[in-house]
Amino acid sequence: MRKISLFLAFCGIASVVAGPAYAQGTPKQKAVPAPRPATQAEATVPAVASADEKAAKAIDGFRSSKFGMNEADVRAAITKDFGVKPDAIKSQDNPAELTRSVLLAVPDLLPSGGIAEVSYVFGYKSKTLIQVGTVWSKGTDPAMTPEKLFSNANILRAHFLGEGFKPDTIAVNTPVAGGVLMFRGSDAKDRSVILLLQGTFETKENNQRILTPTGLLLFYVADTKSPDVFKLPPGQF
């Protein structure tokens, strides 16, 4: 099972960097065109759902696993959501941030989207759920293709654009280091969803930039501004 790094570096869009676990070791595959930057109209939440018709999106976790739950409760929620046996849920520690994660592989988490790996991250001090991350790549599914990654990314972006995130927090189709930020949006409590299509760019004829996707990363983050991870106190070094 491929390890998933904690991606709380997404606090600022410009600081998004591809994790080494997904940026290396992937065979070169057929490239697909990089998404073009969205227009103002495209980046705005569709007007089909007014404030009276649809409540604003609240990001409280993923499915039955909610931010603030302890590990035992999250494991129970995972078992409920995916019908897996307890021994299908793996665990790992992050020695740099002193956080802990539980992970599992999920076939067709996105319908016909291939096998994904979902990670649930528990905070350094709180020991409760602070982030849920999902990755689709050849590391999670040997049958994954760039075209499938691109399709999954477009499906999820379209979904999130209709979810009622705060309009002034929405960013779509933004080139970043290591790929394209397909979507980012926050709710009223500044909890965020981040969708990154990871890959490499090549410049072709007429200066057209082509992205070869190698991974699709989706994160639900409780606090991007002050994440519950270990940091050295000021003045120690």
Q: Could you report the per-residue pLDDT of 86-115, keeping only the tens digit for each?
A: 999 999 999 999 999 999 999 999 999 999
Q: How far apart are CA 114 and CA 5, in angstroms?
A: 20
Residue 34: beta bridge partners? Answer: none
Q: How far apart are CA 201 and CA 149, in angstroms?
A: 15
Asked if pLDDT for residue 84 goes beyond 90, the answer is: yes
Q: Could you report the per-residue pLDDT of 8-52, keeping only the tens digit for each?
A: 444 333 333 333 222 222 323 233 344 444 433 333 334 344 443
3-state SS, 38-79, equals CCHHHHCCCCCCCCCCCCCCCCCEECCEECCCEHHHHHHHHH
The conformational region for residue 163 under phi > 0 = left, psi -120 to 50 = alpha, else beta, is alpha
Please compute Rg for the chain using Cα positions.
18
Mean pLDDT, the chain, rounded, equals 82
pLDDT category at 203 given cuts 50, 70, 90 is: confident
Q: How far apart are CA 73 and CA 213, in angstroms?
A: 35
pLDDT category at 55 given cuts 50, 70, 90 is: low
Q: For residue 25, give the amino acid letter.
A: G
The whole-model pTM stands at 0.80
Mean pLDDT score, 165-192: 95
pLDDT of residue 206: 83
